């Protein structure tokens, strides 16, 4: 059995975020976002990545890790250490995420909310994940959909364009009740 991890990187629309793609599933469903070291307590790997200088955010997707660095840092000072940290941890077999602070699913969602969630999961989240990010449903009220942008999307210069021209435009075509999409 070969437990050797291979990692390749992909750029993202955010110049301060890099997507590290592994040949292994990291998160079975959804994503785990760690916007800072304090929020990473449930992930031994995220904590190790935050020990690298200039790492500001870590997002785990199905088979990738997006690392967002501080604006003034150079990737050359982080890249090799990030690859080494990820490889050693994953090959060790130690858990990547021990606990997550997932929100409890709200029961009694409306038909419109269910349709929004279905479109997010089937069409939008896979596209955003390809750029190293994720989009999480927060709420839908009075025609306003609130979403959390995570990973490379959270601090990306083109996130407003993604939100308005991409997500909002697509959802408005399929959900007449939708007036606006905002990021929180």
Residue 100 lies in a domain: no
Are both 87 and 127 inside the same structural domain? no
Q: How many Å apart are CA 88 and CA 94, to the nearest integer?
A: 10
Residue 128 lies in a domain: yes
Residue 105 lies in a domain: no
Give yes or no for a contact between 20 and 82, defined as CB atoms under 8 angstroms apart.
Answer: yes
Region at 70 (left for phi over 0; alpha for psi -120 to 50; beta for the rest): beta
Of the candidates 40, 59, 92, which is a domain's last residue? 92
b/e sequence 59-90, b meaning 16+ C-beta within 10 Å: bbbbebbbbbbeeeeebeebbeebeebbbebb
Residue 101 lies in a domain: no
User: Structural domain of residue 147, as residue ranges?
Assistant: 111-183
Are both 40 and 85 inside the same structural domain? yes
Are both 84 and 119 inside the same structural domain? no
Q: How many Å apart are CA 153 and CA 129, to the nearest integer?
A: 9
| Domains: count for the chain | 2
Residue 126 lies in a domain: yes
Are both 88 and 119 inside the same structural domain? no
Report the 10 Å Cβ neighbour count for 138: 13
Q: In terms of residues, how long is the chain?
A: 184
pLDDT score recorded for residue 108: 65
pLDDT score recorded for residue 151: 79
pLDDT digits (tens, 9 = 90+) for 53-68: 899 999 998 899 999 9
Are both 88 and 118 inside the same structural domain? no
The pTM assigned to this predicted structure is 0.70
Are both 87 and 156 inside the same structural domain? no
Residue 11 pLDDT > 80: yes
The pair of structure tokens assigned to 66 is 């997006």
Residue 62 belongs to domain with CATH number: 3.30.1370.70
The pair of structure tokens assigned to 16 is 């301060």
pLDDT digits (tens, 9 = 90+) for 141-181: 999 999 888 877 777 767 777 777 788 988 999 999 999 99
């Amino acid at each position: 059995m070969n437990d050797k991890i291979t990692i390749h990187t992909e750029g993202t629309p955010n110049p301060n975020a890099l997507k590290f793609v592994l040949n292994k599933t990291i998160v079975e469903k959804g994503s785990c976002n760690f916007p800072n070291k304090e929020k990473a307590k449930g992930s031994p790997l995220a904590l190790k990545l935050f020990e690298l200088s200039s790492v500001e955010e870590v997002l785990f997707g199905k088979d990738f890790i997006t690392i967002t660095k501080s604006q003034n840092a150079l990737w050359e000072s982080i890249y090799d250490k990030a690859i080494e940290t990820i490889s050693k941890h994953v090959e060790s077999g130690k858990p990547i995420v021990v606990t997550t602070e997932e929100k409890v699913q709200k029961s009694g969602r409306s038909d419109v909310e269910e349709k929004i969630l279905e479109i997010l999961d089937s069409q939008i989240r896979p596209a955003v994940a390809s750029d190293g990010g994720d989009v999480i449903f927060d709420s839908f009220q009075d025609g306003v959909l609130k979403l959390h942008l995570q990973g490379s999307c959270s601090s990306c210069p083109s996130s407003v364009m993604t939100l308005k021209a991409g997500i909002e435009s697509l959802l408005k075509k399929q959900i007449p009740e939708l007036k606006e999409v905002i990021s929180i």
